[in-house]
Amino acid sequence: MMTTVTSAATDHVEAGAVRPVLSIRDASLGYGDRLLWAGLDLDVAPGQFVAILGPNGSGKTSLLRAVLGTQPLTGGRIEILGEPVRRGHRLVGYVPQQHLADRGTPLRARDFLALGIDGDRFGPPLPSRGRRARVDAMLATVHAEAFADARIGSLSGGEQQRLRIGQALIGDSRLLLCDEPLISLDLNQQRSVSDLIDASRREPGRAVLMITHDVNPVLDMVDTVVYLANGKALVGSVDDVFTSEVLSDLYDTPVEVVRVRDRIVVVGLPDHAHEGHEHAPHGDGSRH
Ligand SMILES: Nc1ncnc2c1ncn2[C@@H]1O[C@H](COP(=O)(O)OP(=O)(O)OP(=O)(O)O)[C@@H](O)[C@H]1O
């Protein structure tokens, strides 16, 4: 069952009378007899940054796949800009979980970005000058001019990740979906990638949905949290969701949320929720 901890997300949409980029109504998702989560309601307005959190196997990636239209819901509906979700939507950009390119991959950074334009199957082909200008503009946006002609296999994880975000954005997507974009990046790279994602949602009309196992690196960016656990889904602001009372209720066991030097530390998560779930599985928050 979904619990809306706060109505902040929907208020944003209603007060501004802007059409949500993404609208999810009474959605549930499961495989066979196993229900992952149910009753999820969420409106995402332009400019919103939504973090999807929860332990391994809680259904975070499945939720993104449902928004991508590649995974049918068990119940409910999802709309993108007022239209039913569909596979290959031109206005949805996707950065899947990171797999580093092989070192020998011959593709150059600029060609990798151009693949994002080719994905736009519905528009007429761009003349090559237009393509080049678009790629150059996106190279600048993702701060990749310095390695525009380098082979992507020779680039660092953070550089590759910035290019993947550029590829997802180059088709003028209105909704950017990112699956653990900060994983296996060092702190500097995490910052540059999260800053880039944050800047991209500030482009007119665009919003971001991002899976992260740790809210701390994006604490100052996120305005709405979707927390999936124990078959349930919570929606609310960081301050509303990350309280001892709310998470204890979600996990059905006493959980303590403390703030340590502007970081959120969750102590006492049940065993099954520990693996890969780093709001401080060990109570010290030091793995971030
Ligand atoms: N196509 C599928 N058919 C059956 N079960 C699936 C399918 N896809 C995922 N699952 C199962 O559903 C559960 C949720 O998977 P999902 O990848 O959505 O979780 P997640 O929260 O993203 O996990 P993680 O944090 O480990 O990436 C897992 O137990 C997974 O094995």
Q: What is the mean pLDDT of residues 251-270?
A: 90
Q: What is the pLDDT of residue 4?
A: 58
Which of 254, 226, 228 lies closest to 266, judged by CA?
254
CA distance linking residue 81 with residue 134, whole number of Å? 24
Identify any residues that bridge with 23 across adjacent strands, giving them in sequence order: 43, 79
CA distance linking residue 237 with residue 251, whole number of Å? 18
* Cβ of residue 58 lying under 6 Å from some atom of ligand 1: yes
> How many A from CA of 54 to the centre of ligand 1?
12
The answer to whether residues 35 and 74 touch, using CB atoms and an 8 Å cutoff, is: yes
* Cβ of residue 57 lying under 6 Å from some atom of ligand 1: yes
Secondary structure (3-state) at 78: strand
Give residue for tokens 């991209």.
200
Query: What does the DSSP 8-state code read for residue 275?
Result: T
Which pLDDT band, with edges at 50, 70 and 90, does 262 fall under? confident
Query: Residues 200-229, buried b or exposed e (16+ Cβ, 10 A)?
Result: bbebebbbbbbbbbbbbbbeebbbbbbbbb
Q: What is the pLDDT of residue 273?
A: 64
* Cβ of residue 61 lying under 6 Å from some atom of ligand 1: yes
Which of 261, 263, 254, 141 lies closest to 192, judged by CA?
141
Distances (CA, A) of 109 to 106, 156, 168, 258: 10, 12, 14, 42
- Extract the tokens encoding 173: 């997507």
Helices (H), 170-203: 187-201
Straight-line distance from the first to the last Cα atom of the chain, in angstroms, rounded to the nearest whole number: 30
Which pLDDT band, with edges at 50, 70 and 90, does 121 fall under? very low
Q: What is the pLDDT of residues 139-155, one digit of tens each?
A: 998 999 999 999 999 99
* Cβ of residue 36 lying under 6 Å from some atom of ligand 1: yes
Q: What is the pLDDT of residues 195-212, one digit of tens each?
A: 999 999 998 899 999 999
Which pLDDT band, with edges at 50, 70 and 90, does 124 fall under? low
Which pLDDT band, with edges at 50, 70 and 90, does 88 fall under? confident
Q: What is the pLDDT of residue 77?
A: 97
Which of 260, 262, 256, 261 lies closest to 281, judged by CA?
256
ipTM of the shown complex: 0.97
> How many A from CA of 164 to the centre of ligand 1?
23
201 vs 123 pLDDT, higher one = 201
Least confident of 7-11, 47-51, 185-189: 7-11
Determine which residue's CA is closest to atom 31 belonging to ligand 1.
57
Q: What is the pLDDT of residue 3?
A: 53
